[in-house]
Amino acid sequence: MNDMNQSKARKLLAVFAHPDDETFICGGTLAKYAAEGVEITLVSATRGEMGRRMGNPPYLNRETIAAAREKELQAACDSLGIGRLMFLDIRDKTVEFIDEESLTARIENLIQDIAPDVVLTFHEKLGGHPDHCSIGKATTAAYHRARCKGALYFISFGDRMEHPEPYGYAPEDILKIDVSDHLESKLAAFRAHRCQSEIDEWVWLPDSEALDRFGKVEYFINGDASAPILNSGDLFQPAGSRPVMAGVNH
C-alpha cells in the first residue's frame, strides 16, 4: 500500500473486446486499483453491437444497441473508477478478420504513449470468444514489440485458474487479487450494463444477496514468460523485476 505515496501515478492499460468484459471478468480488480489512485485506460475494440442480449424485455435493436452499450460502458467505468475509455471502432464479432498487423500497430502506439505499468488483455487461446482471442493476440504482440517495461497479464473467467494445470499453467503463473472490498463497485457496474445483465435475476436482488454471488478473488495469468511473478497478490510488480529487453515471444 506504500505505492500510494509514489509521486508518479501507476498506470494500467486494459485492452478488451466488448463493453462488459471489464466488469464481468475483472471489475473488482479494476475498482480496487482505481480506488488506490491507479490511472486506468480501458480500450474496448468494439461496441458490442452484435450482442444477443437486447434488454429484458428487449428494448434495443441492431440500430440502437451500439450507442446504448457505449453509454452503459461509460456508466460502468464511472462505477469502477476508470478514468479513460477508448474504442478501436471495430465491428463486433469481426476482430478476427481485422488486419492483424495494423491492429497490433495501433495497440503498440497506445502502449508507447501510455507506458503502462500493467497491461491486461485476453489469452489468445483461452479467451473463449473469437473477438477475445484476437484482441488478446494482437495486444500480446504489441506488448512485446513495444518492449513494454510493465507487466502483462491475461484475464480469466471465474475461478477456473484455481487449478491452472489443465490449461498448461503452474500455480506460480497465477496471480490472485482479493477484491472483497470492491464488490459494491463491481455490482454497480454490472447494473450499469443493464441491457446485458437485466436478464440475470440475481444481479437485481437486494444488494446483500447479489453481492454474495461474487467470488472474493479474481485471477490473472502471467502473460510474460520472461518475467516470473515476484509479488503475488498484486498486479504491480517490484521495480526492477522486469527484464530490460522484453523480447521473449513465447
What is the number of the residue whose Cβ is closest to Zn ion?
A: 18
- Pick 157 or 167: Cβ nearer Zn ion: 157
We find the least distance from the C-beta atom of residue 209 to Zn ion, in angstroms, to be 26
- Pick 24 or 204: Cβ nearer Zn ion: 24
Q: What is the 3-state secondary structure (H, E, C) of the chain?
A: CHHHHCCCCCEEEEEECCCCHHHHHHHHHHHHHHHCCCEEEEEECCCCCCCCCCCCCCCCCCCCHHHHHHHHHHHHHHHHCCCEEEECCCCCCCHHHCCHHHHHHHHHHHHHHHCCCEEEECCCCCCCCHHHHHHHHHHHHHHHHCCCCCEEEEECCCCHHHCCHHHCCCHHHEEEEECHHHHHHHHHHHHHCHHHHCCCHHHHCCHHHHHCCCCCEEEEEECCCCCCCCCCCCCCCCCCCCCCCCCCCC
We find the least distance from the C-beta atom of residue 4 to Zn ion, in angstroms, to be 31
We find the least distance from the C-beta atom of residue 219 to Zn ion, in angstroms, to be 17
- Pick 45 or 183: Cβ nearer Zn ion: 45
Q: d(Cα 37, Cα 224) in Å, to the nearest integer?
A: 25
- Pick 21 or 117: Cβ nearer Zn ion: 21
- Pick 157 or 204: Cβ nearer Zn ion: 157
We find the least distance from the C-beta atom of residue 57 to Zn ion, in angstroms, to be 23
- Pick 71 or 129: Cβ nearer Zn ion: 129
We find the least distance from the C-beta atom of residue 153 to Zn ion, in angstroms, to be 17
194 binds Zn ion (CB under 5 A): no
CA nearest 104: which of 67, 73, 146, 74?
146
Site size for Zn ion, by CB under 5 A? 3
We find the least distance from the C-beta atom of residue 173 to Zn ion, in angstroms, to be 23
**Positions in 4-23 near Zn ion (CB under 5 A):** 17-18, 21
The set of cell numbers assigned to 187 is 455490482
Q: Which residues are at the interface with Zn ion (CB under 5 A)?
A: 17-18, 21
